[in-house]
């Protein structure tokens, strides 16, 4: 049974619609990542789960029971805010023991739970320190330990790594996942970092304008995104507008401002407008013309060096731009204004319905 479910939950702040008839189910033991741009409703969603906000419409269920009216302290859902909110007047141990004590556990039991949990996050040596004596990464772990020790079943992490150095962040995100999994907890992890979401979530939810754009395992969401905005937010892509000219078996021929692009034909209607998307690592560039489904001529407009790879922006003969990422072992380097061949396989072309409000609207990230 689902640990947590939302049925048609709507939340408004004045005229702003923060969440729009949202329905989800989170199963026991899941690690769900919520990815979305600023203002997409991520934090609102977390606060509704924690009981810090109440829905305007719809119902939230915990273990199958409606909890709209249940107090924050009885939800068994721990909210870990972005900057952790460690109590500055309490030691690390006391912070971690706060949950069990607040639920009426005797001192000895609470302190034992706390020290065990501190062991788990490897901070036993700092039990008597005050929070402001710890580094950001340590504070993060204390916040996590405090949540774990409270006996909550659901951990709500609001951008848990946003205040931490980039280098440490990579390390910590796996630690958090490991600790949560070891303790058999369910976690909801909100982030705006797509790499973080991809690497820690069992499932990823893409949120935009208060609606779920896509929900599924990271691999599926990356390879077959449910929509243009999902492809754009999760991995990014070059997009083209086109019209279905013809379909031949599994292949559709799509005319994009003078170029004919071969794409997988799902259920495409002739003459219907579509949007094509291409991941940059799927786009190859070369001096000679390779034997691929789609090969076009273009001119390099810019080069960005990224350490293990290079990113090129190429202008095609029809004036559209396409991005390509080439890994460093590719010895052939290109310069701005080089004339090159741009190629990609038919199956790598993502085909989307033409959005009602136009492409540029779909690509806005706020």
Partner 1 sequence: MSGADSRVDSSSTLTRLLLFLERVSANPGIIKAVYSIAVLFFLSIVITPAVAGIIAQMLSLSSLELNGVVLTRMERAVSWSFIIGLVVSTLDVLAGIPLAWVIVRKRGRWTTILDSLADIPFVVPTVALGFSILEFWSSPLGIAQLFGYSLVTPGSALIMLLHFAFSFPVIVRVMVGEFLNYRETYEVAARTLGASTFTAVRTVTFPILRPGILAAFLLALARSLSETGATIVVAGAFENGTVFISNARSAGLTSAVVVASLILIVTSLVVFALIKIIAPRIRITPLRVWPKFERKLGRPPVVAARDAASITIFLVFVLFPCLFIALPAILAVASGTGTEAIAGTGPWGAFWSSMLLSYTIAVVATVLNIISGLPMAILIARNRYGTRITRIVDVLVDLPIIVPSLALGVSLNFFWRNMGSLPEFWVIVLAHMTITYSYFVRAMTASIQEVQPELEDAAKTLGARPLRVFRRITLPLTKYALLSGAILVFTRSVDETGATSAVSKTLKTAPILLVSWIKGTVPVTPAERALGVGFLVVTSFLALVVLRLVAIRQPSRKVT
Q: Which of 70, 52, 53 lies closest to 61, judged by CA?
A: 70
Answer yes or no whether residue 80 interacts with partner 1 by CB under 8 A. Answer: yes
User: What does the alpha-carbon distance between residue 360 and residue 366 come to, in Å, rounded to a whole number?
Assistant: 12
Residue 264: count of CB within 10 angstroms of its CB: 15
**Binding window for partner 1 (CB under 8 A); candidates: 74-82, 170-178, 247-255, 340-348:** 74-82
Phi/psi for 226 (5° steps) reads -75, -15
Helix (H, G, I), strand (E, B) or coil at 141: helix
**Binding window for partner 1 (CB under 8 A); candidates: 34-42, 94-102, 119-127, 345-353:** 94-102
Phi/psi for 54 (5° steps) reads -110, 145
Q: How far is the CB of 188 from partner 1 (least distance, A)?
A: 13
Helix (H, G, I), strand (E, B) or coil at 2: strand
Nearer to partner 1, 4 or 156 (CB): 156
Nearer to partner 1, 78 or 261 (CB): 78
Token code pair at residue 143: 């916040």
Q: Which of 36, 99, 210, 225 binds partner 1 (CB under 8 A)?
A: 99
Alpha carbon distance, N-terminus to C-terminus of the chain: 35
Q: How far is the CB of 87 from partner 1 (least distance, A)?
A: 6
User: What does the alpha-carbon distance between residue 201 and residue 188 come to, in Å, rounded to a whole number?
Assistant: 9
Q: What residues from 105 to 144 belong to the interface with partner 1 (CB under 8 A)?
A: 107, 110
Q: How far is the CB of 209 from partner 1 (least distance, A)?
A: 22
Q: How far is the CB of 72 from partner 1 (least distance, A)?
A: 4
Answer yes or no whether residue 360 interacts with partner 1 by CB under 8 A. Answer: no
User: What does the alpha-carbon distance between residue 76 and residue 63 come to, in Å, rounded to a whole number?
Assistant: 11
Residue 148, CB-side half-sphere exposure with 13 Å CA sphere: 26
Q: What residues from 171 to 210 belong to the interface with partner 1 (CB under 8 A)?
A: none
Q: How far is the CB of 130 from partner 1 (least distance, A)?
A: 12
**Binding window for partner 1 (CB under 8 A); candidates: 15-23, 68-76, 198-206, 294-302:** 68-76
Q: Which of 62, 98, 239, 352 binds partner 1 (CB under 8 A)?
A: 98
Q: Which of 85, 270, 306, 365 binds partner 1 (CB under 8 A)?
A: 85
Please list, in sequence order, all residues whose beta carbon lies within 8 angstroms of the beta carbon of residue 104, skipping any fewer than 6 positions away.
Answer: none
Contacts with partner 1 by CB under 8 A lie at: 50-52, 71-81, 83-85, 87-90, 94, 97-99, 101-104, 107, 110, 146-147, 150-152, 156
């Amino acid at each position: 049974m689902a640990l947590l479910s939302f049925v048609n939950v709507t939340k408004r702040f004045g005229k702003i619609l923060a969440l729009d008839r949202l329905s989800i189910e989170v199963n026991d033991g899941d690690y769900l990542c919520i990815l979305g741009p600023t203002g997409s409703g991520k934090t609102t969603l977390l606060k509704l789960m924690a009981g810090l906000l109440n829905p305007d419409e719809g119902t939230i269920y915990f273990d199958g029971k409606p909890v709209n009216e249940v107090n924050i302290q009885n939800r068994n859902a721990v909210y870990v805010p972005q900057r952790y909110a460690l109590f500055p007047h309490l030691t690390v141990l006391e912070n971690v023991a706060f949950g069990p004590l607040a639920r009426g556990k005797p001192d000895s039991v609470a302190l034992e739970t706390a020290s065990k949990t501190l062991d788990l996050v490897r901070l036993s040596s700092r039990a008597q320190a005050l929070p402001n004596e710890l580094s950001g990464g340590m504070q993060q772990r204390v916040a996590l330990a405090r949540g774990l020790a409270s006996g909550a079943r659901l951990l709500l992490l609001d951008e848990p790594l946003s205040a931490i150095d980039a280098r440490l962040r990579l390390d910590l995100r796996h630690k958090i996942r490991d600790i949560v999994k070891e303790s058999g907890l369910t976690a909801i992890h909100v982030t705006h970092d797509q790499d973080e979401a991809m690497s820690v979530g069992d499932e990823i939810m893409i949120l935009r304008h208060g609606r779920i754009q896509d929900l599924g395992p990271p691999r599926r969401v990356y390879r077959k995104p449910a929509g243009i905005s999902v492809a754009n937010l999760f991995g990014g892509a070059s997009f083209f507008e086109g019209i279905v000219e013809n379909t031949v078996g599994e292949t559709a021929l799509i005319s994009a401002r003078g170029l004919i692009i071969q794409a997988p034909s799902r259920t495409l209607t002739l003459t219907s407008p579509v949007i094509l998307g291409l991941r940059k690592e799927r786009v190859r560039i070369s001096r000679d013309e390779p034997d691929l489904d789609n090969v076009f001529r273009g001119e390099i407009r810019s080069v960005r060096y990224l350490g293990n790879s290079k990113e090129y922006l190429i202008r095609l003969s029809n004036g559209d731009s396409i991005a390509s990422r080439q890994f460093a072992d590719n010895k052939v380097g290109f310069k701005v204004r080089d004339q090159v061949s741009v190629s990609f396989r038919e199956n790598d072309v993502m085909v989307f319905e033409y959005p009602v409000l136009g492409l540029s609207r779909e690509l806005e990230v706020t």
